Amino acid sequence: MTKYVFVTGGVVSSIGKGVAAASLGLMLESRGLKIAMMKMDPYLNVDPGTMNPYEHGEVFVTDDGAETDLDLGHYERFTNAHLSQKSNVTTGSIYNTVIQKERRGEYLGKTVQVIPHITDEIKSSIRMLTTGTESDTDVVIVEIGGTVGDIEGLHFLEAIRQFKYDVGPDDCCYVHVTLVPYIEASGELKTKPTQHSVAALRNIGIQPNVLICRTGVHKLGEDQRRKIAMFCDVKESAIINGEDISPLYAIPLNFKEQGLDDTVLKTLALDAPEGDLSEWREIVDKLAHPRYHVRVAAVGKYTGHDDAYKSINEAFVHAGIANDCKVDVQWVDSEQFENGTLPEEALKEFDGVLIGPGFGSRGVEGKVKAVQYVRESNTPYIGICLGMQVAVIELARHRLGLEKASSTEFDPETPDPVISLLSEQRGIVHMGGTMRLGAYKCELREGTKAYEAYGSKVIQERHRHRYEFNNAYRERLEKEAGLVVSGTHQLGEHELVEIAELKDHPWFCASQFHPEFKSTPLKPQPLFRDFVKASLERKKLRGA
């Protein structure tokens, strides 16, 4: 019998529901349980694929090509849960499905309403997580996006309220993440926001079984615990202190010490042997006491929002663990290189440079200039998606003399489209219609940096892009510009370039795919790992 845990949030957004859900998943897996995870987002977009990273943060991509919320990245970094298209639904996707059913006449002429039709569709999407190969799932963890009290999330809350009566009280647990702010003037934590948040949840008909109280750097005292327990009707033992802890990966250990997993299992009437988190403790210890330190410049254009490149930041943390060093990542706005700032002035103090993904022409010329500096100064370089494309453009311009070489994304009239759409993609107008999304096989060439990093001839990595390397320029770039094509994917009659390197450079590797999506603390991504190693070696050579 599958059990269900629903994680809600109150008082403010970005309260930490995703990390709390992922931490619980980690603890339950350590106890031998198979879990599935899901995020429900209240916005009307069908998925976050077309949303601005400044507004929503990064778009996380699963193996099957689903464009999802960044919290799914937390789920994959903390757990072994298999995530797919089924793991993220939005208000838009639910309504879209219901409206399509109505148009097909599946409701037999009945008036279609939020209750029961929308709520039934939501519940159906939850049950879909445990069909087919996932039918042996022990616990499903569902995070509800947004904040209790928001009108836009009421249909999700109503659906999970009903779920308890569908499956029975012993098969359902509600975990509410809330805020207990510290008021400087009075010098104390205030529980009233939590009381109001739980009251709003109870007014909907949901009584939380567990409260995770975010308290900043402070801890709940006994008086606060008693007050919360009394006014919220939650046992003191089920009130978990969620103080801010660094690094992020120490949070599950904090929850473990307070018995969060025990409380949830007791609520669900589940027995499971005690878990072993020793590997996780070793990771946290390494992060707390690194032997070395490197500085990496990450050149991008969404530098004002930490979540815009969340998976890249975390992949550097994982690569640091593998190299026993702290990776200090500083995001550098590429547009400054178009406005007079020289790349050598901004980048010379760094041990390595990354150019990450992005869409649109803004900041691209600045990235091309940054690549030129990296290539000429022998600075270790890792390029991701657009980072590979601008590297190819830079080589074509400065080693082949094709001064106007570009991508047709940025300059449709370029005489040398070294990056372009495949012929069969042209003319497709729907956003996403030309996108290569999800996991694709890549064959590596022996003797290359990529092969050395992966130690395997065939790999699978995830993509999210529209434009490709133009093979019409491949021979010249390889023979005259020092380009090394180290990884390819066979797509019908096309051999697509997946990884490009430089022959005469200490470490220069750029991929069309997004390696950051599959990096975890226990399995650092090979390209990131070796890039950080090369950056560390450069730092030692410079005597820095």
Q: Which residues are tagged catalytic?
A: 385, 514, 516
Spatial distance between the Cα atoms of 459 and 510, rounded to a whole number of angstroms: 15
Distance of alpha carbon 424 from the chain centroid: 31
Are 453 and 499 spatial neighbours (Cβ–Cβ below 8 Å)? no
In what helix (H) or strand (E) does residue 454 lie, and over which residues does it extend? helix 449-454
Torsion of CA 288, 253, 514, 128, to 10 degrees: 180
Rounded Cα distance between 373 and 505, Å, is 12
End-to-end CA distance of the chain, in Å?
Answer: 58
Return the H-helix or E-strand segment holding 101.
Answer: helix 91-103
Contact assessment for residue 105 and residue 76, using Cβ atoms and an 8 Å cutoff? no
Q: How far is CA 28 from CA 84, 234, 544, in A?
A: 20, 22, 44
Pairing mode of beta strands 139-144, 436-444? unpaired
CA distance 175 to 213: 11
Tokens of 69: 């919320």
496: left (phi over 0), alpha (psi -120 to 50) or beta: beta
Alpha helices for 233-351 (secondary structure H): 251-257, 260-267, 278-288, 310-322, 343-347
Q: Is the dihedral of CA 514, 516, 520, 522 positive or negative?
A: positive
DSSP assignment of 169-189, as one string? GGGEEEEEEEE--EETTTTEE
- How is 318-331 classified by DSSP, letter by letter? HHHHHTTEEEEEEE
Q: How far is CA 415 from CA 195, 318, 460, 478, in A?
A: 65, 42, 34, 20
Give the gyration radius of the chain's Cα atoms.
Answer: 25
What is the bridge-based pairing of β-strands 325-333 and 292-300? parallel
Structure token digits, residue 515: 């390696």
Q: Helix, strand, coil % (nearest 5) of the chain?
A: 45, 20, 35
* b/e burial code for range 82-117 (CB count within 10 A of at least 16 → b): bbbbbbbbbbebbbebbeeeeeeeeeeeeeeeeeeb
